[in-house]
């Protein structure tokens, strides 16, 4: 295919994905906004007023970056896993596979769709947070790049989950039993400096900890982890997941009968 044809194919998939979640915005954009507002009220105002400070900042100010990142993670993952599994379940994926569109274009289209929803919800949560605290971006490049990288990583994760899923129940197993616990234990509501040394070491095995703390560094300028290592690790994981997703797509795992 010519470059122009590749671009048209890619953009078609992206527009389809964006229209899909925008068409049902009361189910895709409104619930996370309401959920995060409740987090701001309960954890930030009610509980935060009793906690006081965390890491040298007001507790509300400290948890806002983590809550924004949590919304990006769950929505970028959820968009791709539900969309691609729905395409597979309805057998529409066969039309993509028999077309001359390269697999990497198909993958990139779905990933960008997931990134669009993750970043969109992240922006909504950020705007809502301004009603509860003042946000001052410490490092703009770190803030933007870590959000995009996180959204790409979990979009790829959602794609892999959708490929292996054999039923609608299967697409909820990973978010429920893996993603949610790792997110809550990823330093969203606390600094790992509060933990005993052993549990600090255990927490360092949680990849979400690096994303949350890097984003917190971009907003507040503080972090519990090494920022350079976090970026290097995320790039490596993205490369591995992208390659594996392409391999599964090429092999037809869970797609071709």
pLDDT digits (tens, 9 = 90+) for 35-67: 999 988 887 777 777 777 787 788 888 999 999
Listed residue (160, 179, 157) closest to 234, CA to CA: 157
| Lowest-confidence segment of 25-39, 90-104, 130-144, 146-160 by average pLDDT | 90-104
82 pLDDT band, cuts 50/70/90, is: very high
Give the predicted TM-score (pTM) of the model. Answer: 0.92
Average pLDDT over residues 126-147: 91
User: Residue 256: its pLDDT value, please?
Assistant: 62
Write down the domain spans for the chain: 3-251
pLDDT digits (tens, 9 = 90+) for 156-194: 999 999 999 888 888 888 888 888 888 888 888 888 888
| Lowest-confidence segment of 24-33, 68-77, 165-174 by average pLDDT | 165-174
pLDDT digits (tens, 9 = 90+) for 236-250: 999 999 999 999 988
pLDDT digits (tens, 9 = 90+) for 193-208: 888 888 888 888 899 9
* Three-class secondary structure of residue 57 per DSSP: strand
User: Residue 160: its pLDDT value, please?
Assistant: 95
Between the alpha carbon of residue 59 and those of residues 47, 79, 125, 175, 225, the distances in Å are 9, 30, 17, 27, 19
Average pLDDT over residues 125-134: 91
Listed residue (185, 61, 187, 75) closest to 124, CA to CA: 75
Residue 86 tokens read as 């729905």
Residue 78 in this model has a pLDDT that exceeds 60: yes
Question: Which residue matches tokens 């959000």?
Answer: 147
* Three-class secondary structure of residue 34 per DSSP: helix
- Give the residue, 21 or 1, on which the prediction is more confident: 21
Residue 257 in this model has a pLDDT that exceeds 70: no
Listed residue (20, 6, 242) closest to 105, CA to CA: 6
Question: Which residue matches tokens 């100010």?
Answer: 61
């Amino acid at each position: 295919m010519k470059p122009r044809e590749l671009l048209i194919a890619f953009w078609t998939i992206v527009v389809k994905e964006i229209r899909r979640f925008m068409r049902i915005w009361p189910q895709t954009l409104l619930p996370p906004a309401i959920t995060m507002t409740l987090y701001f009220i309960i954890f930030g105002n009610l509980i935060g007023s009793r906690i006081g400070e965390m890491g040298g900042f007001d507790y509300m100010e400290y948890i806002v970056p983590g809550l924004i990142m949590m919304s990006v993670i769950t929505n970028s993952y959820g968009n791709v896993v539900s969309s691609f599994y729905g395409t597979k379940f309805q057998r529409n994926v066969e039309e993509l596979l028999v077309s001359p569109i390269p697999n990497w274009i198909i993958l990139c289209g779905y990933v960008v769709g997931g990134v669009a929803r993750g970043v969109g919800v992240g922006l909504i949560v950020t705007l809502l947070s301004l009603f509860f605290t003042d946000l001052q971006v410490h490092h703009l490049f770190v803030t933007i790049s870590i959000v995009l990288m996180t959204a790409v990583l979990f979009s790829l994760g959602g794609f892999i989950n959708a490929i292996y899923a054999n039923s609608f129940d299967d697409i909820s197993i990973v978010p429920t039993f893996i993603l949610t616990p790792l997110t809550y234990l990823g330093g969203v509501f606390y600094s790992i400096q509060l933990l005993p040394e052993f549990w600090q070491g255990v927490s360092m095995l949680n990849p979400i900890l690096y994303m949350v703390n890097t984003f917190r560094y971009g907003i507040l300028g503080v972090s519990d982890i090494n920022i350079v290592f976090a970026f290097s690790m995320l790039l490596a994981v993205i490369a591995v997941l992208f390659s594996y997703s392409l391999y599964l797509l090429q092999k037809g795992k869970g797609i071709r009968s």
